[in-house]
Every structure is written in C-alpha cells, then in structure tokens.
Structure 1
C-alpha cells in the first residue's frame, strides 16, 4: 500500500487496502490524455486485472479532470494511428476491469476526458464540472467510446444531440439525464463522496460484485444464460453461505 508517483507519465497511484486511487497529473496540459498517460493507464489496468480491486479515478489538479486528448499529438495522427485505437483500447480495458470503478470529476471533462469518465462504472462530480464532445468541430468524431457509451447512459436522441453539436453539459443537467450518479456542491466534498460510494460498493461480496458487473456489461444475447451460470457459481460460494447465515442470525435476535 501507499502512494507512488509516476511523474513522467502524468499518473499518480495511491494503493489502499481495498482500492486503488489513480490521479491524472498533467496540470500544465489540463490533464490532456497523451500517449504516455495512455501507457500508464494500461499498466494500471494490468495491475488491477492481476489483482482485482476497486478503482477511484480522478483529476489531480483542482478544477480540472481532463481537457481531452492532447491536440498537438492528435493533429499529427494518421489513419493507421486511428486504426490502432490508441485511446479507445485503454478505455475499453478500463470498462472491462473485474471490479467496479468510480470516477470523480471536478471541472472540465471534454472529448477524450469525457470518454474516460464514461468508461468507468459510476460517476461523481462537483457542481462546477461539465462534459462535452467537441470532436466534430475539430473535424473528427468521438472515437474512443462516446458513440456507444453515451447513448447507453443518456439515450440515443440525447446522445446524438450532444455528439452532433458539441454542446457542453453542466453538472445539474448531467445528473438530470443520468450521465452522473451524484453531484456535490464543494470541490472538497468530491473525493469523500467518491470514497463513500466505493465504501457502499465494498460491502458486497467481491465475487458477487465481479459477476454482477460481468452480467450487466454483457450483450443482451448472453442473458439469461450468463445470469444462471453466475448464480450457480455464487450459490456454491462459502461467502454466500456466511453472509446469509449472518443475516438470519441478526434477524432472529431483533
């Protein structure tokens, strides 16, 4: 456990007992997502795949989550770079992490920064946070997940409006349309609120959480078969028997 900085990559990692806190740390570039940061995120995913834990992802600089991809790098990318799925691949990997993930957003989450937030399971933000997909105004599309994750979050018509216009969504609207799960008023409340949400998640069985996430993220064709197999595994789990016994004993004493 403990904190370890990744200065050259722009990612700082704090390993705690049941979770990892990852902080974007490129304040001079408004936490723009460059190839070094993408590589650091891949390395983080490798650790969480090998040793599954909860993840809290946030921006290290107050008032900034991520201003998007690094436009200087993005301008020079060609069609082969696009096909390499530089940002998309790591966001997909974050989405597929075994245990639940929470992102805490303060300030702008734009372009690739917004898509990074969509890749997490749950989103908490401050009242000064805002989200947006300005890609069409830069001559490209939101190619790192927004075209399919945003419709799943807010509905097809709303997602198309945001993708077609590049309009920014403030925190109040984000909560209203289901883009975020919770909004806090003060920036100082953000990380405590995100940790409190993870604390609630952590009360569940680790195996049940993993299989529930797997089932929710699975394609429709996998149901109900995946649900039945997952439940069969959990019914044989010692943790299930212990938790249900504890519940019944508490109820008998009340």
Structure 2
C-alpha cells in the first residue's frame, strides 16, 4: 500500500468521511497565513482529488479566521521571477479546475490570498463574522491570485473594484446580498452546514455533477456548443437512464385494487 500523502503535512489537516474530504488550514499561530509549505500541500491535495475525484470542503475552522492572507515575510522576499511563476495563483487555479465541487466554509477574516482561495471554490458558506478584503495595493502589490477576474465574475465589476481599489472590507451580510456567500450560519453550525451541502451534492449523478461544473466554468464564447456536447455525453450514460427510470417509477399511480 502506498504511504498516505497526508502523513507529513503540517499546514493542512485533511480528513475524509463518507467520500467527502475536509481540508483544514492549519497554521493558527500565523492566522492561517498562506506560505510556501501550504501551497505545496495544496498541490498534493489537488493531485489526490484529480486522481480520485471527491467533493471537498476547505475551512479555517471556527476560530474567527479563515486565512489572513499570504505570508507577508515570504511575500516580501519574492522577486519578479516568483511573480511570473504565479506561486499562489497556480495552486488556486488548480483548485478551481478540480473535477468535483469545492465548498469554502469561512468563519471570520478571509483577506488577500485567503479571500482569493475562497473565490476559487465553487460555493462559499460564511458566519456573521465573515469578512472579505483585498489589502494588496496597501502593500504595494496587486491581488495577483485570482481576485481581479474571479471576484468580478462573482459579484460584478462595481463591487469588485470597491474591494480592490478602495481597500474596504465586505461584511457577511453584504457578501450574502451580492451573492458571494451562499448562506450565513452561526460558527458552531458551520461544519454541519458545509457537510450537509456536500452530502446533498453527493446524492446527484457524479458524472453529471462533473459535467455541469465543467460547462458552467467554460468560457462564455464556448456556449452553447459546450452545453450540447456535455448533454450528448450524458444522454448515453447508464446513470442517466437509471435515474430517470427511478424518477418515473415514483410518479406512476398505484394500482387500483378494485379493478
């Protein structure tokens, strides 16, 4: 048996139950700041979820901080070549492209790279104390790991530019209003809410779920052709026939015993 890739991890705590993978950002002393070690472990996680697709929940726990951004001490020492490599952005893009859905369960601050990690996920659940922010220009840099394009798609240009250019924060209520958060629950209920959503997805056809995510994320110019191709593939799948047959059998009226 191959050794468990999770055994040597220190920045992520990864557990799995009933086919749902839960990923805990695990640098509490650094407020879960995203450093090179965490990025390396995110790549290992993605390799596993690419090889064996499962639904994943990414969380910082319920201690009031999801992730306070990138590790500034490391970021300060990175040069032009590092920026062109896209150290954080490449890892987050890999999360975005995972075959099965990802859920970000966010309690407290999600700032800078921490916020960009949540934007790469498919769905975000927060708590009343969840706060998003992009402080990068105040540090002399841009939000270079996805906020400049993902946030625009998620909340629209006006709201995105307010965060990116004015340095203001987005509270949980406002994030829910603009659609960045799917729902808001109490911190103690966050793990249960995220798991319940993952379990709801898990009841669906896995191949249809993968195809739906792929088509939804496709470049707008690819529609509607990409939708038709995905549908054509699913129409010949045994899972489609089985599920539709079960649906129709539930709708058939019971036999009349008096006839």
Aligned to 2:125: 124
Aligned to 1:220: 220
- Superposed displacement of residue 7, structure 1: 6.3
Secondary structure at 1:42's aligned position in 2? helix
What runs of 5+ residues in structure 1 fail to find an aligned partner?
none
In 2, the alpha carbon distance for the partners of 1:61 and 1:234 equals 39
**Structure (1 or 2) with the larger CA radius of gyration:** 2
Deviations 1:38-59 (A, max 9, x none): 0000000000000000000001
Deviations 1:93-128 (A, max 9, x none): 000000011010001000000000000000001101
Aligned to 1:23: 24
Secondary structure at 1:55's aligned position in 2? strand
Aligned-residue RMSD, C-alpha: 1.4
Aligned to 2:252: 252
In 1, the alpha carbon distance for the partners of 2:16 and 2:84 equals 33
Secondary structure at 2:65's aligned position in 1? coil
> Is contact 2:32–2:67 with CA below 8 Å preserved after alignment?
yes
Aligned to 2:70: 69
| 1:195 counterpart = 2:195 | yes
In 2, the alpha carbon distance for the partners of 1:177 and 1:130 equals 13
Alignment of 1:131-210 (within 5 A): 131-184=132-185, 186-210=186-210
- Superposed displacement of residue 5, structure 1: 6.0
What runs of 5+ residues in structure 2 fail to find an aligned partner?
255-259
Alignment of 1:81-92 (within 5 A): 81-92=82-93
In 1, the alpha carbon distance for the partners of 2:158 and 2:206 equals 36
In 1, the alpha carbon distance for the partners of 2:15 and 2:253 equals 41
Deviations 1:54-75 (A, max 9, x none): 0000014611100000000001
Aligned to 1:111: 112
In 2, the alpha carbon distance for the partners of 1:117 and 1:176 equals 17
Secondary structure at 2:143's aligned position in 1? coil
- Superposed displacement of residue 9, structure 1: 3.2
Secondary structure at 1:32's aligned position in 2? coil
Judged with a 3 Å threshold, the aligned counterparts in structure 2 of structure 1 residues 103 and 135 are, in CA distance, closer, same or farther, namely: same
Aligned to 1:58: 59
> Is contact 1:4–1:13 with CA below 8 Å preserved after alignment?
no
Aligned to 2:257: none
Aligned to 2:11: 10
TM-score by length of 2: 0.94
> Is contact 1:133–1:142 with CA below 8 Å preserved after alignment?
yes
TM-score by length of 1: 0.96
Q: Number of matched residues?
A: 251
**Structure 1 moving runs of 4+ over 6 Å:** none
- Superposed displacement of residue 243, structure 1: 0.4
- Superposed displacement of residue 229, structure 1: 1.0
